[in-house]
Structure 1
Amino acid sequence: MAQGLVLLATLLVFSNDVQCNFSPEIITDLAKVLMDNYCSPEKLSGMEEVISTASSNTEILSIQDPSILASVLTDGVRSTIGDPRVKVTYDPNYVPAAPPRIPDIPPEQLAAVVKGTVNVEVLENDIAYLKIQHIIGEEVAQKIGPLLLQHVWDKVLPTSAMILDLRYAVSGELSGIPYIVSYYTDAEPLIHIDSVYDRPSNSTTELWSMPTLLGKRYGTSKPLIILTSQNTVGIAEDVAYCLKNLNRATVIGEKTAGGSVKIDKIKLGNTDFYVSVPVAKSTNPITGKSWEVKGVAPDVETNAEDAIDAAVAIIKLRAEIPAIVKSAASLVAENYAFEDIAANVAEKLEALVASGEYNMISSKDELKAKLSADLLRLSGDKCLKMTDNNPVLPPMSPSPEMLVALVKELFHTEVFENNIGYMRFDVFGDFPQVASVAQIIVEHVWNKVVDTDAMIIDLRNNIGGSTNPIAGLCSYFFDEDMQIVLDKLHDRSSSTTKVLETLPELTGRRYGFNKGLLILTSGVTAGAAEEFVYIMKKAGRAMIVGEPTHGSCQPPKTFQISDSDVFLAIPVTHSDTTQGPAWEGAGLAPHVTVSANEALDVAKDILKKHSLGQN
């Protein structure tokens, strides 16, 4: 059945429930008003049938309370078209309000009115505060514009940031929207702000920014915060929505009421019933959507009473951000392991700040996410990023029993069929008691696998750690008389190069160079684990089986950015690249590529075939 007929049926059912007595002409008049004035006529299909059916209905129903009838009509319309803004009221004493006019009063009295209706302050840290309860239209603006400039605008224009308080803005004129928006945008190019469709005239008006204004513009670079509440309604919502989607303002507070750009209160025939109808609708040219009914969602949600404090905090943060980003750029330029990339990243990062890319940041978390994303995009290095300041723990002196338990927890060993050794560990530790720990590892781990005929080292879940143990670990897989330079690690921040060489003396026995060695990898294998794989693969000492490694970095250093509580992780060291690219950022490709889940079985099969003399 047509939607309009559903409306009629709903109204009649509700009327019977309350035993009403009213003339069907009320429904007819209501339907006519909606058809001629409602801003979304596509929702009113079938209304002609409603009019016809209601007009032919001669049944007279009794009614005792006209307010109940108004409520019934309201519920019926809302349930049918799904618009909570439509409301029927019984108003026998209603007098339509005349358009507000400013009387011809002396300028000094008019100035007192302006100062009494617009709240303006300059807060600490050179922040302007402007509270508006009614958004004036073009006609009024032209008449009192000079007074607004003198008593309001000229006070806030020199400030470094502004809070525009619309939490109590409940009325306004459509023609005032371009005025307010234009003061926060540039003169050129002109900006299409809004499109407003008017149902009674079946016409659409485009609102554009204004090329000329009375007084100077606030501009586009200084922070602008708009405060909203659940009471912010109508034209003020449009202003907030426009400036938000132009990325000119940050909205803080509560979701707005979801009103309309224009609601008319229209009399139903010769009765004392009226229907309030949204007769126009707004469509934002940027989003293609409207704030009406749904309201304007804040960028930063908080209770309305807390909105000013939140705004001040964000403005203070934004004042600090350029220095923070520039300091981060300098730290990268001076310390990042790859000098040429470092200079390029630093230059482009500063250019992003100058271009306003960081102007709309509202929290430290947003800053960290944005800066990390830019560092990754500019450098291609996922290790160059914002980080937390993890405090350095004091050195521990565990007992021998604790060290034994720790080693057993960190290492897992087995001896498989065909005398194949297996050793898994998931982190490269850095123990202060090197000698004592080495002896424990030899006794409780190494001696279980050192006499095997071949070995599998499982690094599929190894996330890295310290590079200090790497030279010693590698040395176990080379003969005593083999003195080999494993790698050279250049530290940019200290301008030093650390040479990793096989050690002439080790705790326990060597595994030697000739027995088979396979290393298992996955996309998790990172950092120091990749350095170990890189060395063993480059030296031709091990076959790598599994997935390409993570492509991480040497252990980064943490730097505090200026005096802020923001910290930056910078890889300052890279492997010797004189013989070609190393593994940092790119990862290492295995000799035999299989899924991580299959790697162990494939490695066993390779060693089994080798032991049988098969290729």
Structure 2
Amino acid sequence: MTTSAKLAPAPVIDETARLLIEHYVFPEISQQVADLLQRRLAGGAYDVDGSEELARLVTADLQSVNGDRHLRLKHHADPVSAEQGAASMEAMRRDFDTSLGGAPRVELLAGGVAVVELAPMLFPLEWAAEPLGAALTLASRAQALIVDLRTNRGGDPDTVAFVCSYLLDERTHLNTMHWRRGERSEQSWSLPHVPGARFGGSKPLYVLTSNDSFSAAEELAYDLQQLGRALIVGERTRGGAHPCKGWTVHPHLEATVPVGRAVNPLSSTNWEGTGVQPDIACAAADAADRAHAHALTQLAS
């Protein structure tokens, strides 16, 4: 279903530009992008019939200055609430209910190697702690573990820390978020205790990635890679490191604006624009077999 009625783009562009200037984590970029949107509006670039086409055009312009893939005008086929973040939250809840809470697959492969798939995203921790804790506890007895993030499109940084807590032996500094508001920062650490059993920090660990792995999924892979805890197997990820918030700017359109930036304590940078580079590069479709074979070799030695 798409929206075919003629719409007035000016209110959408004006509100999106206002949100950019007020909230975008890079103030020096926000004015450039807002000015670009207004120039494009004045030139008639957004005189289109439907909100879906407007979303596509505006998103391309939003990302054209610095390539920030979290900076988007998202189209929603069904009308969404005007409450901040409601559009994404409604869709997220539907995905949570149909994916066993974000852990749709736990499997034991030959040789004592377990697979835990985390998809389609890392849901808010208040929802996901129970199903993820159960899945990771179930896999804790395996001799090696493969965490599959190939179809994971992001999610909650607190959930990243929760998952990491099952894969490490002690409390560890994972990441620091620098927020625009008040110029404050917030550190992310793994937890000192977890519900259930840990897989721990010494057995072989692999993380599968694809070109579709994004945002918080990338943070999970990047954090574990920087710590030397996991081998990343598959494809380079999409490269989005900026946490964002969403505002409804039209019944079918949501502006998502990054409000922070991640800085890893070991690399002093992040994966924005570059993605997470795999340690074992291969097609995403082959990543599970490559990781399993590597794990069996490690266990045999």
Q: TM-score, normalised by structure 2?
A: 0.80
Could you tell me how far apart the structure 2 residues matched to 1:594 and 1:451 are?
28
Instruction: Please provide the CA RMSD for this pair.
Output: 3.3
1:387 pairs with 71, 74, 98, which one?
A: 74
Correspondent of 2:21 among 315, 319, 333: 333
Report Cα offsets for 1:270-309 as digits up to 9, x if no partner: xxxxxxxxxxxxxxxxxxxxxxxxxxxxxxxxxxxxxxxx
CA contact (8 A) 1:325 1:350 kept: yes
- 1:530 Cα deviation (Å)? 0.9
Deviations 1:75-133 (A, max 9, x none): xxxxxxxxxxxxxxxxxxxxxxxxxxxxxxxxxxxxxxxxxxxxxxxxxxxxxxxxxxx
Equivalent in the alignment of 1:470: 160
Q: Which residue of 1 aligns with 2:247?
A: 559
1:430 aligns with 2:124: yes
Matching of residue 446 in structure 1 with residue 139 in structure 2: no
Paired position in structure 2 for 1:342: 30
For 1:343 and 1:405, locate their aligned partners in 2 and report how far apart those are by CA, in whole Å: 40
1:602 maps onto 2:290 in alignment: yes
Aligned residue in 1 for 2:111? 418
**Offset of residue 370 of structure 1:** 2.8
The residue identity in structure 1 corresponding to 2:47 is I
In 2, Cα distance between equivalents of 1:455 and 1:335 = 40
Partner of 1:363: 49
Assess if the C-alpha contact under 8 Å between 2:175 and 2:264 holds in 1. no
**TM-aligned CA deviation for residue 595 of structure 1:** 0.5
Q: CA deviation at 1:494?
A: 6.3
Q: What is the CA–CA distance in structure 2 between the aligned matches of 1:567 and 1:475, rounded to whole Å?
A: 33
Is 2:214 the counterpart of 1:521? no
The secondary structure found in structure 1 opposite 2:167 is: coil
Contact 2:218 2:275 in 1 (8 A): yes
8 Å Cα contact 1:528-1:554 kept in structure 2? no
Post-superposition Cα deviations, 1:56-90, rounded to whole Å, max 9, x if no partner, equal xxxxxxxxxxxxxxxxxxxxxxxxxxxxxxxxxxx
Q: 1:333 to 1:408 in 2, by over 3 A?
A: closer
Q: Which has the larger radius of gyration?
A: 1
2-structure distance, mates of 1:568, 1:405: 26
Indicate if the aligned counterparts of 2:223 and 2:264 stay in contact, CA closer than 8 A.
Answer: no
Name the aligned partner's letter for residue 115 of structure 2. Y
Q: Percent identity?
A: 26
Task: Call closer, same or farther: CA 1:606–1:568 in 2, change over 3 Å.
Answer: same
Where do residues 569-580 of structure 1 align in structure 2 (5 Å cutoff)?
569-576=256-263, 579-580=267-268
Map of 1:178-327 to 2, 5 A cutoff? 317=8, 321=10, 324-327=12-15
Contact 1:412–1:424 under 8 Å retained in 2: yes
Deviation at 1:534, TM superposition (A): 1.3
CA distance in structure 2 between the aligned counterparts of 1:360 and 1:423, rounded to whole angstroms: 44
Distance 1:457 1:560, change over 3 A: closer
- Asked if the contact 2:23–2:257 (Cα under 8 Å) also holds between the matched residues in 1, the reply is yes
Aligned residues: 282
- Secondary structure of the 1:468 match is helix
1:540–1:340 CA distance, 2 compared to 1 (3 A)? farther
Correspondence list, 1:25-44, <5 A: none
Structure 2 unpaired stretches of 5+:
91-95
Distance 1:447 1:329, change over 3 A: closer
Which protein has greater RCO, CA pairs closer than 8 Å, 6+ apart? 2
Question: How much does 1:602 deviate?
Answer: 0.9
Deviations 1:436-490, CA, capped at 9 Å, x for gaps: x53x5545x23432112211111112122222211111011111xx332100122
Distance 1:564 1:596, change over 3 A: closer
Is structure 2 residue 226 aligned with structure 1 residue 538?
yes
Rounded to whole Å, the distance in 2 between the matches of 1:509 and 1:564 is 45
SS in 1 for 2:233: strand
Give 1:95-134 correspondences, 5 Å limit. Answer: none
Q: Which segments of 5 or more consecutive residues in structure 1 lack a partner in the other structure? A: 1-309, 396-402
The CA distance in 1 between the partners of 2:285 and 2:99, in whole Å, is 27
C-alpha contact 2:103 2:132 (8 A) present in aligned 1 = no
- Give the distance between the partners of 1:586 and 1:415, measured in 2 at CA: 33
CA shift, 1:408, in A, is 7.8
1:375 aligns with 2:62: yes
